[in-house]
Structure 1
């Protein structure tokens, strides 16, 4: 037998579930040296940790009997950070321990607590739950921890990050001293080390995390875009990859709500997961993804913890993860169980330096690529369309009769074109991005319509990472104009000036006012206002001209010559400063961030 070293009941369950070999972490916890010892296990998300700790605690639960005897109090306790992860763990342990007839109780927020209490009182062998709900049951006397032989802390680092330290300590303090403590965590920060030192004795450390912090089955890519065009980039990435299931990560529930609404409007079948959704709404959303009724999930970090979707092949970091660990946890939703996955980071131009540093620190090699263009998406559509239409299909006589009738009335070419049109009609249209590779390309020396211009000013400059690649799309979005209607852009250390043809200046200014808050700023804190005198250099030249008249042999210009967007007349195009750079003693203003 392949699993001869395991209890026969678990070996039977593994074989019935299609296992032919154990993963590295599952093998490590099953070795003889791990039997009966406390464990500190570092393993990547998606490496089979749930089955691993199910195997690890088997010796404390299974004796010689084919079925577990009735338990007056739980023998094992598994604590997980979120409801979804706890439910997933419970499902995994259900099939793994099915041959032993183990009773497994799940205790999570959002469920009926009275039903959970009945399960606990009915003789549960294994209890799986979230820290807050387990603590509540313990304090009410429904959860008896006196007979525990094993405690498992799953995703321990995340539980501490989420503020569950006090709940964990109360639960662990109530367990017998001779119980085993199995601590599973993708990362091992100092708080985890302290927890292990306090509640474990002579723990065996097991690590299956390689030198490459990124998952081996995940291809990492990064795209740099204008902050104003993040949503357009999301649309094009989804259309280019056409993943069976994709997950998009945002930082806040407000951004989840906004992006979800945008995708529905564009024609995507999408669901949302965030802290504002009830348990029934979350369950319905996950079921829609499993049933293929939805293909895109927009979620916050916490809401997506523990979600296991076998069809998930694309993860998009719509907003930059706060650290390398979050990047790893997010990306780990794909590339699981030997399947390939893709993780894409959408990086606002001003924050590219920061992301590059994060990737280096995490030892992740990400390929920087361009956002897919409509042309590239249509080329992909053509290949997928041909593959879909030419795939063999089963037909019955009714289908063939309709086909014959159609051939009598239309030519084969007309029918094929109608079939192609019907397939394409169901696809959301790709977006044209303003911030393409030619966003900062030089304009002609003289452009029609810019003989009479009005200057405007925005209160970000080079020290705030101002760059024409994100400034130009921002101006177009705020002022409801096209890029051809923005003239010279002059970037100074702490402010930026730009030209708008006088004929549309009033309309531009009104649109800017409508897209600002009562303070006159947009959601990124950027203020735009008319600057009739233009940049300081222009105003100074105007004053000299008025006071002294023309100097030299030729006439003086009352304004600067037309510059390419982002070009400084004196020094040429400016490169963005590193993220976070700011002038000494001046308040720092961040560039635009987040999905709109």
Structure 2
């Protein structure tokens, strides 16, 4: 830190927090050529952005070692969510504690009158969310005419949440000569447009690469059968036994469903979704912070801005929609030098999508099968062998009781009781199907009829008339049997039926008959089907020809009767023969006069 010019009170605060060195983004914003300039900074979540912009604006705010008592805000920090805004305020409080700074927060869901009173007392630094800040400006309780620096934290998320109009209103209320710093995990065109409109010759800083894999995060992709998605999540939680873990789902319904399943199995979990009130969100987050809950299940929107201590495991129950979301989710772990794991749950139908997602995010993930029940039990046993209390000595009361236990029950029985107590209360591991693990992206599944020397044929109750096709059938068959595509040989589509070849070693998974969906049934055949037949069934006779239609083809149309209702004779294109027309039921009598033809 000696290579960077940091105001003395801020440097003392860093030392008090145990900072030996600066992160990449913190060092970037303190470079000599950056001083006084507007900044557009791209840095991943957990890279120390809050401290970075706190240090960056220090020289703009401080007069000597104190903040001047101007009566009006000197600095404004805008964040997308309540939780992130309150987190930013906490960080700035310890960083500016020795400068006499008064920090006020303006966020939705809090008492408006208390916020107004804090602003009236002359807060020099204001932290808030866009909507509430705009409310205070419009009501006259927030005056930005003395503002020296404005910071937009997680600017891309604020635009995603629809706050562009509020941001424009807030920045327009501040002096044009202010310094503006924008921090964003990604810099899409919308962010660049916002920067051009409200920054002056901004310096672009990309800290550690915009989409670079976080060095402290291990990315893993787990191949699971579709029906094993939830059991795989449970086994992952049991294997890692993380102090805190977060599971991301796509919808509220998925969050609520997974929470119910996990609660039934004994996991200490809470949920975050858009249907919760602020009080319910606060209770859920507090349960995670004080250890009453260890797993948070959330949607992407509901999890924005939350900071969970000791977060060691991120599980993507539903795949992210884009690489930026993957990085946002994963960046919540592996912070401040700690190690973390980001795990993707990938059913067979989503293999290729997961591979594209990782490739576009420039992430190298380790592919493998989800932890089995045996692996979870073995990990439990290793933890017991490493249990610190087993090596602890010096407690005389415990030693006396231990001696009595050994005398009464013997060492073997006491050890068995210890193992039973260790396992008690932990959710039982789940048994998973054997699923092929993808490596490099696979080519199309083999279609050669002779590809399997030992194979079993099955019939499928849909064909061309049901719009069946190999791409539609493959994932359904894989999911139904929990098999990989390499276990499927030829697929032959006929008019009303289809046939598929399954490796003999995997055929037992389907039994004699499997109901895949309501309209799709899979039945085992005794031998190979007659693939030379023109239809799905070899004995099916050809469809009879409509001789009446053929006889009428080319004949002139009979003239329409003069009294025929016009509404019933409105043909499109060439008129159909009268013999094709279906008899129509008489329409009910309508009220009012009939419109004349």
- Cα separation, 2, equivalents of 1:473 and 1:443: 22
The residue aligned with 2:12 is 12
State the shift of 1:532 in Å: 9.8
Cα–Cα, structure 1 residues 62 and 246, in superposed 2: closer, same or farther, change >3 Å? same
State the shift of 1:389 in Å: 5.8
State the shift of 1:291 in Å: 1.8
Alignment of 1:488-499 (within 5 A): 492=493
The residue aligned with 1:194 is 193
Alignment of 1:156-555 (within 5 A): 156-210=155-209, 213-388=212-387, 391-393=390-392, 396-437=395-436, 461-464=469-472, 466-467=474-475, 468-472=477-481, 492=493, 527-528=518-519, 540=535, 542=537, 544=539
Q: Which stretch of structure 1 is more off in the superposition, 107-116 or 51-60?
A: 107-116
State the shift of 1:394 in Å: 5.8
- Cα separation, 1, equivalents of 2:412 and 2:511: 50
**Higher relative contact order (CA closer than 8 Å, sequence separation 6+):** 1
Residues 327-361 of structure 1 show CA distances to partners (whole Å, capped at 9, x for unaligned) of 00000001111111111111121121122122112
Gaps of 5+ in 1: 475-486, 513-525, 548-596
Residues 36-64 of structure 1 show CA distances to partners (whole Å, capped at 9, x for unaligned) of 11111111211110000001111221112
Tell me if the contact between 1:310 and 1:336 (Cα under 8 Å) persists in the aligned partners: no
State the shift of 1:266 in Å: 1.3
State the shift of 1:376 in Å: 1.5
Residues 537-579 of structure 1 show CA distances to partners (whole Å, capped at 9, x for unaligned) of 69947562899xxxxxxxxxxxxxxxxxxxxxxxxxxxxxxxx
Residues 140-168 of structure 1 show CA distances to partners (whole Å, capped at 9, x for unaligned) of 22221211111100011111111111111
The residue aligned with 1:515 is none
Query: 1:41 and 2:50 equivalent?
Result: no
- Cα separation, 1, equivalents of 2:423 and 2:36: 60
Cα–Cα, structure 1 residues 148 and 497, in superposed 2: closer, same or farther, change >3 Å? farther
SS state of the match for residue 196, structure 1? Answer: helix
Compare CA radii of gyration and give the structure with the larger one. Answer: 2
- Cα separation, 2, equivalents of 1:85 and 1:465: 45
The residue aligned with 1:68 is 67
Tell me if the contact between 1:107 and 1:129 (Cα under 8 Å) persists in the aligned partners: yes
SS state of the match for residue 91, structure 1? Answer: helix
Residues 251-304 of structure 1 show CA distances to partners (whole Å, capped at 9, x for unaligned) of 112211111121111111111112122222222222222222221111111222
Tell me if the contact between 2:85 and 2:129 (Cα under 8 Å) persists in the aligned partners: yes
TM-score normalized by the length of structure 1 = 0.78
- Cα separation, 2, equivalents of 1:288 and 1:490: 52
Tell me if the contact between 1:318 and 1:346 (Cα under 8 Å) persists in the aligned partners: yes
Residues 573-593 of structure 1 show CA distances to partners (whole Å, capped at 9, x for unaligned) of xxxxxxxxxxxxxxxxxxxxx
SS state of the match for residue 413, structure 2? Answer: helix
Cα–Cα, structure 1 residues 435 and 138, in superposed 2: closer, same or farther, change >3 Å? farther
- Cα separation, 1, equivalents of 2:87 and 2:331: 15
State the shift of 1:400 in Å: 3.1
- Cα separation, 2, equivalents of 1:420 and 1:119: 56
- Cα separation, 2, equivalents of 1:163 and 1:191: 12
Gaps of 5+ in 2: 439-444, 446-451, 501-506, 543-597
Tell me if the contact between 1:466 and 1:491 (Cα under 8 Å) persists in the aligned partners: no
Cα–Cα, structure 1 residues 542 and 148, in superposed 2: closer, same or farther, change >3 Å? closer
State the shift of 1:210 in Å: 2.9
Cα–Cα, structure 1 residues 496 and 210, in superposed 2: closer, same or farther, change >3 Å? farther
Tell me if the contact between 1:146 and 1:176 (Cα under 8 Å) persists in the aligned partners: yes
- Cα separation, 2, equivalents of 1:394 and 1:94: 43
Residues 154-209 of structure 1 show CA distances to partners (whole Å, capped at 9, x for unaligned) of 01111111111111111111111011100111111111111111111121222213
Tell me if the contact between 1:324 and 1:361 (Cα under 8 Å) persists in the aligned partners: yes
State the shift of 1:67 in Å: 3.5
State the shift of 1:229 in Å: 2.1
Tell me if the contact between 2:460 and 2:520 (Cα under 8 Å) persists in the aligned partners: no
State the shift of 1:9 in Å: 0.9
Tell me if the contact between 2:103 and 2:126 (Cα under 8 Å) persists in the aligned partners: yes
TM-score normalized by the length of structure 2 = 0.78
State the shift of 1:466 in Å: 2.6
The residue aligned with 2:110 is 111
**Aligned pair count?**
512
